[in-house]
Amino acid sequence: MTAAADARFWNRMARRYARAKLSDPEGYERTLERVRKLLTPESSVLELGCGTGSTALRLAGGVARYLATDISDGMIAIAEEKLAADPIRGLTFRVATAEEVATEDPVFDAVLGFNYLHMVRDTEGTLARIRDMLKPGGLFVTKTPCVREMNPLVGRALLPVLRAVRLAPHVAVFGAEELAERIGQAGFEIAAIERHGAKGREFRPFIVARKE
């Protein structure tokens, strides 16, 4: 599948995704609380892979500016519906990739990527663009599934089959240590690696990295 095919996949899934219940609500709330402590009322924030905007709507009220992006216009349409029903000053949703945002909005205090990095096709290139978009000392905060830490059958058997029949988008397979190493190689200092998931849901490490 191509990036365009990935976008079409998420367009088809958007309404179903919006209706789905959180698999780990306690872990999600812990993550939100942790992120709030990293941001300030003056922060300019970019969220990549925002989906239907649930996290952006929870965090944007505490910062000065919040741009939330996704490759799926179906996802962004739902996010904008939510925002229209409950407006938040300073929050904007946009259909865009990290590459497209990098040419338009070069300076942020924080870049967030939740359930995101395992979906990008060029991890190293994306991390480099994220670093370029951050102010000196700016933060990159991520919490994304590390497929290598899940059941081995998921990465080795299930995902390749689903992708072959176009029932899954691109998914990168890596572990937490490998992910942290890639982030460090992109020019970040790892400030924290935490596990916010409930038992059995610890395969999404929460990583805070600072631009060196």
Of 151-155, 167-171, 205-209, give the lowest mean pLDDT range: 151-155
Can you read off the two tokens belonging to residue 115? Answer: 């359930």
Q: Is the pLDDT of residue 206 over 90?
A: yes
Start-to-end CA span in the chain (Å): 35
Q: What is the pTM of this model?
A: 0.90
Can you tell me the distance from the alpha carbon of 44 to that of 166, in angstroms, rounded to the nearest whole number? 37
Q: Which amino acid is at 58?
A: R
Domains of the chain: 3-211 (3.40.50.150)
Query: 185: exposed, middle or buried (C-beta count within 10 Å: 0-12, 13-18, 19+)?
Result: exposed
CA 126 from centre of chain: 12
Res 32 pLDDT > 60: yes
State how beta strands 134-143 and 205-211 pair.
antiparallel
Are 207 and 142 a contacting pair, CB within 8 Å?
yes
What mean pLDDT do residues 168-173 have?
73
Which is more confidently placed, 184 or 150?
184
Q: What is the mean pLDDT of the chain?
A: 89
Instruction: Return all residues near 22 (Cβ < 8 A) that are at least 6 apart.
Output: 28
Return the pLDDT at 106.
65
pLDDT the model gives residue 141:
98
Q: Give the tokens for residue 147.
A: 């497929």
Q: What is the mean pLDDT of residues 123-136?
A: 95
**DSSP output for 107-160:** -EEEEEEES-GGG-S-HHHHHHHHHHHEEEEEEEEEE---GGGS-HHIIIIIHH
Please give the pLDDT value at position 197: 86
pLDDT for residue 81 is more than 70: yes
Kind of pairing between the strands at 205-211 and 188-195: antiparallel
Residues 100-121: tens digit of each pLDDT: 998 776 689 999 999 999 989 8
pLDDT at 182: 96
Higher pLDDT, 12 or 37: 37
Please check the confidence at residue 168 and state whether its pLDDT lies above 70. Answer: no
Residue 171 — pLDDT band, cuts 50, 70, 90? confident
